[in-house]
Amino acid sequence: MLAKDLISDVVPALKTSDSGLTALNWMEVFRISHLPIINNTKLLGLISDADIYDLNMANEPVGNHSLSLTCPSVKYNQHIYEVINLISKYKLTVVPVIDEDSKYMGLITLYDLLQNFAHLTATQNPGGIIILELNQNDYSLTQIANIIESNDTKILSLYITSPPDSNKMELTIKINKTDISSILQTFNRYNYSVKASYLDDEELNDLYKSRFDQFMRYLNI
């Protein structure tokens, strides 16, 4: 999934002649804290609500405001992971998207990013979840995939989390079946440590909420 596929068709960009008050009104309507400023198709920068409040001149055009952020943006062909990294690095609520000639194409909101990330990780697809705990040196995706597929099951998504200063890792696997008993038995037979598994909707909702909270803490917004 690329940045061009995530562009919002709702949130506008600011012109240099727009006032700080206009910017604040739009931020309130769209529940964001940043907006790009453009001059024709040129991206000039990203203004935050804090920039406007700090100047204490909301009626002034945004072109007169100093910006706390230089000009964070992504190219239209960058991957969603790079968008997430930029949002996390600068604590953004929107990310401007530019083309190969650095012309402004649109923006990605944090909300749209989360919605698309949910599709990417197949959270809306029915199925079970298995969390394996293993040593980093023991990780073999080929063997894990073979175990799952040998039980006539497909992997919908997976991701790895690893605590700092640890040789352990957790592999979270979303599969396309809710009956995962045979897969769990096979993992146990191969001496894999199954840390947790989730089958019903209530358990899955709790897991998704927990993972969403972790993701938001990662973004630190």
Summarised one tens digit per residue, pLDDT across range 20-39 is 999 999 999 999 999 999 98
Coil, helix or strand at residue 95: strand
% of the chain surpassing 70 pLDDT: 86
Last residue of a domain, one of 71, 86, 115: 115
Domain co-membership, 85 together with 133: no
Predicted local distance difference test score (pLDDT) of residue 57: 75
Which tens digits make up the pLDDT trace of 132-151? 999 988 889 999 999 999 99
> Do both 137 and 156 map to the same domain?
yes
Tokens, residue 44 = 């000039």
Counted domains in the chain? 2
169: nearest Cα among 148, 205, 144:
144
Say whether both 146 and 200 belong to one domain: yes
Judgement on whether residues 33 and 84 belong to the same structural domain of the protein: yes
21 and 105, same domain (yes or no): yes
Neighbours of 174 (CB within 10 A): 21
**Residue-averaged pLDDT of the chain:** 86
Which pLDDT band, with edges at 50, 70 and 90, does 51 fall under? confident
Q: Which amino acid is at 133?
A: E
**Residue 115: band (very low, low, confident or very high) from pLDDT cuts 50, 70, 90:** confident
Residue 76 tokens read as 């239209």
At residue 201, the pLDDT reads 55
Residue ending a domain, among 61, 96, 115, is 115
User: Are residues 99 and 199 part of one domain?
Assistant: no
Res 220: pLDDT: 62
Instruction: Tell whether 42 and 80 lie within a shared domain.
Output: yes
In the prediction, which pLDDT does 69 show?
62
> Based on the domain organization, do 7 and 110 belong to the same domain?
yes
Query: What phi and psi values does residue 92 have, to the nearest 5 degrees?
Result: -95, 160
- Residue 148 or residue 216, greater confidence: 148
| Average pLDDT value for residue range 143-160 | 92
Helix-strand-coil split of the chain, %, nearest 5: 40, 30, 35
pLDDT, mean of residues 168-186: 90
pTM above 0.75, yes or no: no
Per-residue model confidence (pLDDT) at position 53: 87
In the chain, the percentage of residues whose pLDDT exceeds 90 is 49
Query: Across the strands, what pairs with 69?
Result: 46
Higher pLDDT, 102 or 70: 102
Domain that holds residue 15: 3-115
CATH number at residue 46: 3.10.580.10
Shared domain for 163 and 69, answered yes or no, is no
Same domain, 127 and 198: yes
Indicate if the pLDDT at residue 221 is higher than 70: no
3-class DSSP assignment, residue 216: helix
Query: 111 with 126, same domain?
Result: no
Q: What are 73-113's pLDDT values in tens digits?
A: 999 999 988 998 898 888 899 999 999 998 999 999 988 88
Question: Among residues 99, 115, 131, which one ends one of the domains?
Answer: 115
Task: Compute CA distances 132 → 21, 138, 170, whole Å.
Answer: 51, 11, 6
Within this chain, do residues 104 and 132 fall inside the same structural domain, yes or no? no
Other Cβ atoms less than 10 A from the Cβ of 154: the count is: 12
3-state secondary structure of 200: coil
